[in-house]
Amino acid sequence: MTTAHNAVITATGLTKQYGRQAALNGVNFTINSGRIVGLIGPNGSGKTTTLKAILGLTPFEGNLSVLGRDPRTERELLMNDVCFIADVAILPKWLKVKDAIDFVAGVHPRFDRARAEHYIAQTKLTPDMKVKAMSKGMVVQLHLALVMAIDARLLVLDEPTLGLDILYRKQFYQNLLEDYFDDDKTIVITTHQIEEVEHILTDLMFIEDGRIVLAASMDQVGERFTEVMVEPQYVAAATALNPLSRRTVFGKAIMLFDGADRTQLATFGELRTPSVADLFVATMKGQPQ
Amino acid sequence: MKTMQWLIKRELWEHKGMLCWAPAVVAAAISALALLATFVNQNISYNGAMVTPQNIIVTIEGETRTRIVDTLAHNYVAAAMPVYMVLGFLVFFYCLGALHDERRDRSILFWKSLPVSDTTTVLSKALMALVVSPLIVIGIGLAMSLLLLLAAGVKVALHGTNLFGELLVTPELYLAPLRVLALVPVYFVWALPTVGWLLMVSSMARSKVFLWAVGIPVGAGLLLLWAQKALGFDINAGWVISHVFNRLLLGVIPGSWLSFGSLAAAPDIAPAAGLVAFIFEQSWASLAQPAAWLGALAGMAMLAVAVKMRRRREEG
């Protein structure tokens, strides 16, 4: 298979204007099959707009192909293979657990009822429970159970675990990785809880002010970026190498370098792979305003 | 087709209270009142002595008997008229909320994550208003009519005249419910412009759907009247109001077609015995007016706009 064939999402010159404000400014990116991509950016960076464009929920300019289809014109067909949780707590109040399962089973050709019931069994949800009577976390659990039972080729998760407690969050990502994900599937996640997803991501995309500022696989990130706990005597020398960012922890300077020579850096102090969160903060600060 | 069934079920889950329970409660209340009035003792004073009606034995025979049976068999379904009137309110408010509520609680994002087109969704809501709700209300109305007919029969039997035998062999007894059911297609055509308008407003308005839906036609009507009367414009405001604005708002009332155009004068000549049969004939005759079909076309065009709005509108 060629790479082009492998691409699940291809965006070229993706642009979206809200009045005179540009939410997306000629964005280009490609997401391949079998990847788990973290789309990370501050509020108002164009993250949600990108997801909406992919899901055909908003008009836009430029070219965007999702599973070989144009989300603007072929949305209904696309939804057979794409699933999303666009936001938390959007299930209607009157919906019962068993009705929700019946309904999705009725309209979705790729829904596996047994699977949904299996996930529901792991929660405190009962078939006759209405969304109205559920806690915020339970609504999310129901929604996730429905979505995880759909054998979609592309799953888009926008802040999927907001409102869930830590136990269920861990459980969810574990289920996602073990039961759901395989080489034919692609997952795009946005979240503010970067620490919780970084170990399952295969790719990173940083977005700021409607532009992609970093798009790389986790392996590439590991090769490119290095964090050094600089010993006090080497601070001046390290600063001369123009670090991306610098912070101080317990009196020690920690500097983040992009593409610097590791053997040289090793002389300054202990080397570490930066966390995605630190990388994110550094990248955002590093952008010219 | 399977998707449509699920969408209709979905609407029933959401609106069970309004579309099923409300008419059922109205029917139950009316039945209770009617039964109370029929069976509770009312003492009658006769020549100074109190006589309880239970003691009166009346035997009705001959032509009077035939006429009573005939009238009952023909018109017992009309007893549920108040229930049928409730349908107008139900459909009106159902349509106002149909495409607005899902946007207000943002559940539209969930519905849109499933492979169901906007066209199918809007159609399911229109069908709910034009076919399913009328069928539910007719079902409840007919059950209530039968109950009241039974009560009337029992009451008369208690006084010595058993009409059940003759009633059961009167063909009208069975034809009358069919005539009521046969009004559903007529309702479909005449309610379409109102349902289209309400669903369109429901898909467009950010809030205050009722104000938009009612305010625009009423405001425009008043403006026209004012232009005609105060400014002396050569327009027939009354015609425009009855042919356009009324039909945007009042089409969901069952029987609205009977007071439209050439039929408006008809009720004066309605025969008392065959009221239901008369309504049935007049209703189907109303479809001969081009206005009925022009309105239906306009309704479909507005539904198309509602589909477009649901597709293009951005949420969140």
Nearest to residue B70, comparing CAs of B248, B303, B274? B274
Judged on CB neighbours under 10 Å (0-12, 13-18, 19+), A178 is exposed
Q: Are B65 and B161 in contact (CB under 8 A)?
A: yes
In Å, the largest CA–CA distance within chain A is 68
The DSSP result for B15-32, as a single string, is: HIIIIIIHHHHHHHHHHH
Residue B262: the pLDDT is 56
What are the residues whose beta carbons fall under 8 Å from the beta carbon of B6, sequence distance 6 or more?
A: A102, A103, A106, A107
Could you say which of B14, B108, B312 has the minimum Cβ distance to residue A59? B312
Q: Can you give the pLDDT at residue A149?
A: 93
* Rg over CA atoms, chain B: 24
A110 and A164 in a single domain? The answer is yes
Specify the pLDDT at position A65: 94
pLDDT value of position B62: 79
Q: Does B104 touch chain A (CB under 8 A)?
A: no
Percent of chain A with pLDDT over 70: 96
pLDDT(B49) > 90: no
Last residue of a domain, one of A209, A236, A258: A209
Question: Could you tell me what percentage of chain B is helix, strand and coil, using 3-state DSSP and rounding each to the nearest 5?
Answer: 80, 0, 20
Chain B CB contacts of A95 below 8 Å: 13
Same domain, A148 and A172: yes
The pLDDT, as a whole number, for residue B29 is 94
Mean pLDDT, residues B281-288: 89
In this structure, what CATH number is given to the domain that contains residue A46?
Answer: 3.40.50.300
Task: Based on the fold, state whether residues A37 and A106 are members of the same structural domain.
Answer: yes
**Residues from chain A contacting residue B114 (CB–CB below 8 Å):** 79, 104, 107-108
Of the pLDDT bands very low, low, confident and very high (cuts 50, 70, 90), residue A288 is very low
Burial code of B171-196, b = ≥16 C-beta within 10 A, e = fewer?
A: ebbebbbebbeebeebbbbbbbbbbb
Classify A187 as helix, strand or coil.
strand
Please tell me the distance from the alpha carbon of residue A158 to that of residue A53, in angstroms, as a whole number.
13
Residues A123 and A250 in one domain: no
- The nearest CA of chain B is from the CA of A280 a distance in Å of 26
* Residue B129 burial (C-beta neighbours within 10 Å; 0-12, 13-18, 19+): buried
CB proximity B1 to A under 8 Å: no
How much is the pLDDT for A180?
Answer: 84
Could you say which of B107, B108, B115 has the minimum Cβ distance to residue A79? B115
**Is B3 in CB contact (< 8 Å) with chain A?**
yes
Tokens at residue B33, please?
């009142």
- The answer to whether residue A215 sits within a structural domain is no
pLDDT(A1) > 60:
no
- ipTM surpasses cut 0.90: no
Residue with more model confidence, A89 or A129: A129
Among the partner residues A55, A90, A103, nearest to B106 by beta-carbon distance:
A90
| Residues B11-28, mean pLDDT to the nearest whole number | 93
In this prediction, residues A46-75 reach a mean pLDDT of 90
pLDDT band at A104 (very low <50, low <70, confident <90, very high): very high
* Order of strands, sheet of A61-66, starting from the edge strand that comes earlier in the sequence: A21-32, A7-18, A61-66
Residue A272 in any domain: the answer is yes
Same domain, A185 and A256: no
A and B: number of Cβ contacts within 8 A:
75
By DSSP bridging, strand A154-158 and strand A186-190 are parallel
The shortest C-alpha distance from B309 to chain A (Å) reads 12
Closest residue in B to A147 (Cα) is: B113
Sequence-distant (≥ 6) Cβ neighbours of residue A54 within 8 angstroms? A9, A64, A66, A71, A82, A156, A188
Report yes or no: B2 at the A interface, CB cutoff 8 Å.
yes
Sheet holding A245-249, edge to edge: A245-249, A252-258, A225-230, A269-272
Give the rounded percent of residues in chain B with a pLDDT score beyond 90. 50
Two tokens, residue A178:
């073990």
Span B237-250, pLDDT tens digits: 888 888 888 889 99
Do A13 and A82 fall into the same domain? yes
What's the whole-number mean pLDDT along residues B270-295? 83
Q: Which of A76, A78, A91, A147 to mutate against chain B (most B CBs within 10 Å)?
A: A76
Average pLDDT value for residue range A232-240: 86
Provide residues of A within 8 Å CB-CB of chain B. Answer: 48, 52, 55, 57-59, 75-77, 79-80, 83-87, 90-96, 99, 102-104, 106-109, 143, 147
| Probe site for chain A from B1, B99, B103, B110 (most A CB atoms < 10 A) | B110
A86 and B102: CB-CB below 8 Å?
no
Confidence tier at B47 by pLDDT (50, 70, 90) = low
Residue ranges making up the domain that contains A267: 224-286
Which of A107, A108, A129, A136 best tests the B interface by mutation, with the highest count of B CBs <10 A? A107
Question: B114–A93: do the CB atoms touch at under 8 Å?
Answer: no
Which residue is closest to A58 within chain B, CA to CA? B314
Same-domain check for residues A140 and A251: no
- For range A180-187, the mean pLDDT: 87
Using the 8-state DSSP alphabet, how is residue B283 labeled? Answer: H
Host H or E run for residue B308:
helix B290-312
Average pLDDT over residues B18-28: 93
Task: Give how many domains chain A has, as a whole number.
Answer: 2
Please give the pLDDT value at position B121: 95
Three-state SS string over B97-162 comes to: HHCCHHHHCCCHHHHCCCCCCHHHHHHHHHHHHHHHHHHHHHHHHHHHHHHHHHHHHHHHHHCCCC
Query: Is residue B302 very low, low, confident or very high in pLDDT (cuts 50, 70, 90)?
Result: very high
> Is residue A38 in a domain?
yes
Asked if the C-beta of B315 comes within 8 angstroms of chain A's C-beta atoms, the answer is yes
- Average pLDDT, integer, range B137-152: 94
Confidence of residue B37 (pLDDT cuts 50, 70, 90): confident
Nearest Cα to B166, choosing from B75, B80, B71?
B71
- B312 Cβ under 8 Å from any chain A Cβ: yes
With pLDDT > 90 as the criterion, what percentage of chain A qualifies? Answer: 37
Q: Flag the least confident range among A251-255, B16-20, B142-146.
A: A251-255
Cα separation, A40 vs A218, whole angstroms = 13
Query: What average pLDDT score do residues A144-158 get?
Result: 91
Where does the pLDDT of residue B158 fall: very low under 50, low under 70, confident under 90, or very high at 90 and above? Answer: confident
Span A269-286, mean pLDDT?
Answer: 82
Residue A14 resides in a domain: yes
What is the C-alpha to C-alpha distance for residues B30 and B48, in angstroms, rounded to an integer? 34
Average confidence score pLDDT of chain A: 87
- C-alpha dihedral over B122, B125, B127, B132, to 10 degrees? 170
Query: Is B110 close to A91, i.e. CB distance below 8 A?
Result: yes
Q: Cβ separation of A107 and B114 shorter than 8 Å? A: yes
Do A278 and A167 share a domain, yes or no? no
Query: What number is the average pLDDT over the span A9-30?
Result: 89
- Are A99 and B13 inside 8 Å of each other by CB? yes
Q: Are A214 and A205 within 8 A, CB to CB?
A: yes
From chain A, pick out residues whose CB is under 8 angstroms from the CB of B110.
90-92, 143
Residues in Cβ contact with B69 at an 8 Å cutoff, skipping those fewer than 6 apart? B163, B166, B167, B170
Q: What is the pTM of this model?
A: 0.87
pLDDT of residue A3: 46
Same domain flag for A92 and A228: no
Per-residue pLDDT, B273 = 59
pLDDT band at B41 (very low <50, low <70, confident <90, very high): low
Matching residue, tokens 């849109």: B112
β-bridge partners, B172: none
| Shortest Cα distance, chain B CAs vs residue A166, angstroms | 24
Which residues on chain B are in Cβ contact (under 8 Å) with A96?
A: 13
* pLDDT-based confidence at residue B267 (cuts at 50, 70, 90): low
Instruction: Decide if pLDDT at B266 tops 80.
Output: no
A18 and A141 part of one domain: yes
Q: Are residues A133 and A105 in the same domain?
A: yes
Q: Which among B5, B7, B109 has the least Cβ separation from residue A90?
A: B109
The secondary structure of A27-67 as a DSSP string is EEEEEETT-EEEEE--TTSSHHHHHHHHTT-S--EEEEEET
**What mean pLDDT comes out for the span A160-183?**
83
CA distance B110 to chain A (A): 6
Query: Does residue A33 form part of some domain?
Result: yes
Residue B199 to chain A, least CA–CA distance (Å): 19
Residue of higher predicted confidence among A196 and B55:
A196
pLDDT band for B270, please (50, 70, 90 cuts): low
> Are A172 and A231 in a shared domain?
no
Is residue B4 scored above 60 in pLDDT? yes
In this prediction, residue B261 carries a pLDDT of 62
Is A218 part of any domain? no
Residue A214: inside a domain, yes or no? no
Q: Is A287 a residue whose pLDDT tops 50?
A: no
